[in-house]
Amino acid sequence: MSPLFRRSGDKSAKTEPGERLVTLIRKPGCHLCDDAQAVIEKVCGELGVPWDQKDISEDKALYDRYWEQIPVVLVDGEQHTFWRVNAERLRKALTD
């Protein structure tokens, strides 16, 4: 189902992993960001989930919102976690 037609609160429609999107919000020179990226690459690679990354130093809105929480992981545009990424928790979020 297209994200445009899926109601955000509708848990009855199961989203397949390939329809999900993980976004890593990071900053340059951040070792926690590098650790988070390694977890995301592994989990998303195993599940076939696309992911992208955004640099807060290039986006004032992201900087203002997330500066103290970097790295931040979004799943389908919603904040999933920050600072440390747990592979099992991310996997569960992407497959439930």
Q: How far is CA 31 from CA 1, 27, 70, 91, 93, in A?
A: 37, 9, 10, 22, 24
For the chain, give the mean pLDDT.
87
Fold classification of 22-95 is Glutaredoxin (3.40.30)
The 10s digit of each residue's pLDDT in 25-43 is: 999 999 999 999 999 999 9
> Which is more confident, 16 or 61?
61
Structure tokens at 85: 């990424």
Instruction: Find out whether 89 and 81 touch, Cβ atoms under 8 Å.
Output: yes
The first and second tokens of residue 48, run together, are 């076939």
The verdict on pTM exceeding 0.85 is no
Q: Grade residue 19 by pLDDT with cuts at 50, 70 and 90.
A: confident
Query: Domain ranges in the chain?
Result: 22-95
What pLDDT score was predicted for residue 11?
46
CA distance 23 to 52: 5
